[in-house]
Amino acid sequence: MCGITGIYYFDKQRTVNFSQLKKMTDIIEHRGPDDEGHYIDKNVGLGHRRLSIIDLTPDGHQPMCNEDASIWIIFNGEFYNYLDYKDEIIIKGHQLRSRSDTEYILHLYEDYGFDMVHKINGMFAFVIWDSKKQLLFAARDRMGVKPFHYYIDNEKFLWGSEIKSILEHENVDKTIDNLALSDYFSFMSIPAPKTIYKKIRKLEPGHRLIINGNEIKNEKYWDLIAETDNYKTDSYYLDKFESLFADAVNLRMISDVPLGAFLSGGVDSSAVVAMMAKNGVKDIKTFSIAFKDQQKFDESIYAKQVADQYHTHHTEFNLSGKYIDILPKLAWHFDEPFAVSSAFAVYYLSKMTREHVTVALSGDGGDELFAGYPFRYAHDTRFDGIEKIPMPLRKFILWSTSLSALNGESSFAVKSRKARDYFKMACKNREDAFIDNFSYFDSTLKGNLFNQNLWSELSSYDPNSVYKKYYSENIKGSRLFKRQLGDIKTSLPDEMLKKVDNMSMAVSIESRTPFLDYRLAEFSAQLPDHLKLNGMNGKVIVKKTMEKYLSNDILYRKKHGFNVPFGEWVKNELKDYINETLSEKNIKDSGIFNYPYINKIIELHRSGRFDYSNQIYMILMFEIWRKTFNS
């Protein structure tokens, strides 16, 4: 687990400046505090920060080259199954000079070219410079566990594990992408390939880049395709899942440094710990967060229950106190507006876990692959009756309730707004209504939030198009699979995994995700719907499999989610900070927002009549990001 960055000038006569490359590398030191390395070949510069996990010796130093130094690599991630290729690599005449998985990628590239990505089971983002062919080759793992950002203009191609590396280059266009801004205020994060900057993009999961001269090819090398086999029995799928999951966990145990597991007490992290024990791991170290002063957010009792069952060395951290100081740090580490408030907890959990281990397994990805969000994925029965009402009548009711949806807070006004919102959804098809359910600022709210000039530019743009493409008739699979696919391609890499990667790497800890083994992902696409979702019971196959290892009150209790009490902080701990950061002067300085509306939703939230915690957090984090990077 490391940090990578670099420069490629299209003019082959131009030489990369070492001090420029070093600046881009130094700013991500937190990703690799153990070592740094640079390599320059005229118009190409590779920068690397190393967090030593496998082969702690200098032999693992990067950038790393092949035997004749014609091919160089910088690699961020883990290649879990690299030892499977040891005999093949030796037979083909390659000399292994280290125990590092990075060296195996070099040799596989020599033997298989760009298709070597299919050999790797792991999380990765890497860049290879082939000096003989004069080409640059970059790739990102199938599920998007590791990040890769890049910048292109007429003179150069830049890249980095984090956007801030790219921003360190002396000549970068920092123009804001207003469409990405609209995406952010819909989804809390910015879906790939966009970033907040027009010229900086994310390489999408399962994609690779080939830069040859001035030609840049961006191509997909892997995708998730529904291939359900209705002739298989449930017991076949249960046995297959257990075998794949056990192997996925086992592969992620390889390490030359201390290793443990994040344990929330939910199904997925508990399943990971149980499978570690089943695989024979002794003295498992587990770590969890507690909210002793906010019981409705506290799952520590369940984490302790699993820890006791498997006799782990369990460490619990109580998250309480003031959080003002951490907010600018979060904004700096995320590089762009990012408003998933549980990043608080992930940061502190990672920070305190780092005092004990360098690698931690997590349960991320189980919900998306196996339908663990029943409230999102289940058949929406709210519209079963209303669909019998002719559409013109539905639209008339929407019009009439909209007239009654006053701005006041009387019970009539509140009921009118609820009716309006209901019929607004009922006037759309099921998938449009489904997407709207997880848009935090819809078009009406954005019209209030943004100033008139910005809204006139954005009003015709539909951020939901990011999801809609996955519901096309051209995509094979059930409605459930398509809804999952939308999350797997968007919110999983750009929200969940970004949160975990940036927060864990902020404190130099490696997080590993067994559920995101690509074999499990492909297996999930083969499953019949009833083994993923049954009514409002999600992750059916995971729970049925784990009944042998975990109690029912772990497996079948109501889903909790990994959240923090930000709504209460708005009223208490962060009240003064929010008032100052979102003051009328600051909001007007931004040139983006309508201050009276922001002030109104803060007052309504603090009154207890409405919960605008997510919306307030989105505005707050945008303003902190703006002052950090664009003031």
pLDDT tens profile 395-410: 777 667 665 544 444 5
Q: What is the mean pLDDT of residues 609-630?
A: 92
Q: Name the token pair of 340.
A: 């998933």
Query: Average pLDDT in the 328-349 region?
Result: 94
Helix, strand, coil: what percent of the chain each, to 5?
A: 45, 15, 35
**For position 418, what pLDDT does the model report?**
61
C-alpha span between 174 and 166 (Å, rounded)? 10
CATH of the domain at 35: 3.60.20.10
Res. 383: pLDDT tops 70:
no
DSSP string, 64-117: EE-TTS-EEEEEEEEETTGGGGHHHHHHTTPPP-SS-HHHHHHHHHHHHGGGGG
Catalytically annotated residues: 2
- Which residue type does 569 have? W
Specify whether 381 is located in the same domain as 493. yes
Given 176, 205, 220, the domain boundary residue is 220
Question: Are both 163 and 243 inside the same structural domain?
Answer: no
Kindly state the percentage of the chain with pLDDT values over 70: 90
Phi, psi angle pair for 73, to nearest 5°: -140, 145
Q: 199-249: per-residue pLDDT in tens? A: 999 999 999 999 999 999 999 999 999 987 778 999 999 999 999 999 999
What are the φ and ψ backbone dihedral angles of 9, each rounded to 5 degrees?
Answer: -95, 135
Task: Assign 51 a pLDDT band (cuts: 50, 70, 90).
Answer: confident
Question: Same domain, yes or no, for 186 and 264?
Answer: no
Same domain, 179 and 301: no
Inside any domain, residue 335: yes
Lowest mean pLDDT among 164-168, 318-322, 453-457: 318-322
Tokens of 540: 């059916």
Which of 233-247, 286-300, 408-422 is modeled with the greatest confidence? 233-247
pLDDT of residue 58: 85
Asked if pLDDT for residue 295 goes beyond 90, the answer is: no
Q: Is the pLDDT at 34 greater than 80, yes or no?
A: yes
Residues 215 and 239 placed together within one structural domain of the fold: no
Do 177 and 233 belong to one domain? no
- Furthest C-alpha separation in the chain: 80
Given pLDDT bands bounded at 50, 70 and 90, which one contains residue 54?
confident
Rounded Cα–Cα distance for residues 68 and 130 (Å): 12
487 and 537 assigned to the same domain? yes
Q: Which of 545, 564, 583 is the last residue of a domain?
A: 564
Residue 11 lies in a domain: yes
For the segment 548-566, what is each residue's pLDDT rounded down to a tens digit? 999 999 999 887 666 677 8
pLDDT of 517 over the 90 cut: yes
Q: Report yes or no on 624 lying in a domain.
A: no
Q: Is the pLDDT of residue 503 over 80?
A: yes
**d(Cα 125, Cα 1) in Å, to the nearest integer?**
10
| Band of residue 421 on the pLDDT scale cut at 50, 70, 90 | low
Whether residue 593 is contained in a domain is answered as no
312 and 199 both lie in a single domain: no
Please, which pLDDT band fits residue 573 given cuts at 50, 70 and 90? Answer: confident
In a domain, residue 586? The reply is no
**In contact, 205 and 140? CB cutoff 8 Å:** yes
Residue with more model confidence, 385 or 590: 590
121-157 exposure pattern, b = at least 16 Cβ within 10 A, e = fewer: bbbbbbbbbbeeeebbbbbbbbbbbbbbbbbbeeebb
Contact between 380 and 433 under an 8 Å Cβ cutoff? The reply is yes
pLDDT at res. 376: 80
Same domain, 141 and 244: no
Instruction: State residue 444's pLDDT score.
Output: 83
Q: What is the pLDDT of residue 375?
A: 76
Calculate mean pLDDT across residues 347-365. 95
> Which pLDDT belongs to residue 417?
58
Any domain includes 582? no
pLDDT digits (tens, 9 = 90+) for 172-212: 999 999 999 999 999 999 999 999 999 999 999 999 999 99
- Clarify whether residues 367 and 425 are in a common domain: yes
Q: Which of 140-144, 193-197, 226-230, 284-288 has the lowest mean pLDDT?
A: 226-230
- Rounded CA-CA distance 183/189 in Å is 7
Q: How would residue 24 be classed by pLDDT, with cut points 50, 70 and 90?
A: very high
CA atoms within 13 A on the CB side of 503: 26
Residue with tokens 């890497």, as numbered in its chain? 126
Identify whether residues 152 and 228 lie together within a single domain: no
Residue 499 in any domain: the answer is yes
Q: Which residue has the tokens 């950061």?
A: 581
Residue 144 has pLDDT above 90, yes or no: yes
Q: Identify the pLDDT of residue 256.
A: 82
Owning domain of residue 472: 224-564
Strands (E), 405-561: 510-512, 533-534, 537-538
pLDDT at res. 430: 64
CATH number at residue 313: 3.40.50.620
Choose between 255 and 269: higher pLDDT.
Answer: 269
At 380, is the pLDDT very low, low, confident or very high (cuts 50, 70, 90)? low
Domain boundary among 515, 532, 564: 564
Confidence of residue 59 (pLDDT cuts 50, 70, 90): confident
Position 163 in a domain:
yes
Question: Looking at residue 595, what is its pLDDT?
Answer: 95
In whole angstroms, what is the distance from residue 121 CA to residue 143 CA?
Answer: 11
Are residues 423 and 514 both part of a single domain?
yes
Q: How many domains does the chain fold into?
A: 2
Any idea how long the chain is?
631
Q: Which amino acid is at 194?
A: K
Strand partners, 290: 318
Identity of the residue numbered 606:
R
